[in-house]
Structure 1
């Protein structure tokens, strides 16, 4: 966790699900207006999420984001024109290790993201409707993930059994150490991405690209993939509903996503600077 500094914030990087977005994946009008106020004050604003680039477009348009955005926990950074600024794929060895660990578990659904494609073998999994609603597009059903091994952006183990995902995370981490990142982006999602794919690296890359010192950046989020950017930002902000271990790693805590916590943070901690 970085120390809060009295410097003006020139760039805010925000998580999406559980942070900017409410539980129904919508943006509140107050949040839209708060981001507009940021932009009018000359503060740069962008997004960092575990989502694929295609699943960010509606929010990018609604918020008027005109900067590069970070998808797949920072594994892919996309310019406003759709071109790639950064792209990191999961090593095939790490992908095979994760897929083998998650296989044949009746309460775990395995999803593979390759570019903008959401790939799965079972389209009838109980978690699929939720993900399709959040992403805004349907999955591609495949018989095997093998043809995609050289271009996997993210693997997700999805389950309502949070304790099982915690166990799988603990088991997978030492198996892919030095090869991949493993984190629970949400309580029901365990993400596996390239080693270079983390929001901290994304924040550093974007700040450098924009010419903003890290001391004048802020980051806000709620999940296990967000402390990586907390540790790099000049000001780190946790959402009110975030687990205690996430809140502990932030400089300040704002309201929950159901209470327009992002807007509260902008109004209280960023604009006054």
Structure 2
């Protein structure tokens, strides 16, 4: 079989027997490492549509980075940006939005600056940076098809922040800051890696589990009727909320341990294989 059951030391309930909605991460999951969508993935989405099962995207990306794929994927469903802190309707209008308190923004920026780690702010549809020479600015700009607003200081940009992203080519530093900043902001904000080189700081309830609940509510179904797919620590809140959680093959062991099933990597059609082997057999026609 393509997929593997979870290791068994997780105390998760058994996977749901009936699935009415799929909620998926994008980078490292739905997309290839080259940020492309394969024809196998498109066929799997079509098969889900015929089975009456919508597909919704939830990503750490800003809205523009999600919307650029909707037409190619033929999706007219709601979606969650900034790790689920901003939920958009199918017509791309804003449904709900959570933002960080300004004191937490200041504290987080101070911590990152103290470790010489670049920080980016996402405010609504705006992406704000202070260091244009950061190694990840140019590839991120290509990936989300958005040009950042370069400012000399974040001093006047502290309000309305939906996400702070720390970026560094020092992967160990990002992992260390996930633990340190996570501990310092525990109970006040969500802190999780969205890639080996990115650390996201979002409002306390702005996580993919919150987004999954919002999207399930949009369709009038229960969270246990939702299947989700992901590969990074920021996907774990939706793993916990969903009735079926599927980890990508290249995911960390921590993520795999919290999944019901492990599929192939995103380099080997893991998304479409997961849909074919585990979701479609459990698809229940939506009312």
How does the TM-score come out when normalised to structure 2? 0.91
Equivalent residue, structure 1, for 2:64: 54
Question: 8 Å contact 2:15–2:260 — kept in the other structure?
Answer: no
- Correspondence list, 1:22-37, <5 A: 22-37=32-47
Structure 1 vs Structure 2 CA RMSD: 1.3
Q: State the secondary structure of the residue aligned to 1:103.
A: helix
- Whether 1:243 and 2:252 are equivalent positions in the alignment is yes
Deviations 1:22-48 (A, max 9, x none): 111111111111111111110111000
- Correspondence list, 1:1-273, <5 A: 2-5=12-15, 7-103=17-113, 105-106=115-116, 108-273=117-282
| Equivalenced residues, count | 272
Question: 8 Å contact 1:97–1:175 — kept in the other structure?
Answer: no
Gaps of 5+ in 2: 1-9, 283-287
Offset at residue 105 of structure 1 (A): 4.0
Offset at residue 104 of structure 1 (A): 5.1
Deviations 1:196-240 (A, max 9, x none): 100011111111221112221101000110010001111000000
How does the TM-score come out when normalised to structure 1? 0.96
Gaps of 5+ in 1: none
Structure 1 runs of 4+ aligned residues shifted over 6 Å read none
Of 169-178 and 10-19, deviating more is 169-178
Deviations 1:71-92 (A, max 9, x none): 0111000112222111000111
Offset at residue 173 of structure 1 (A): 1.7
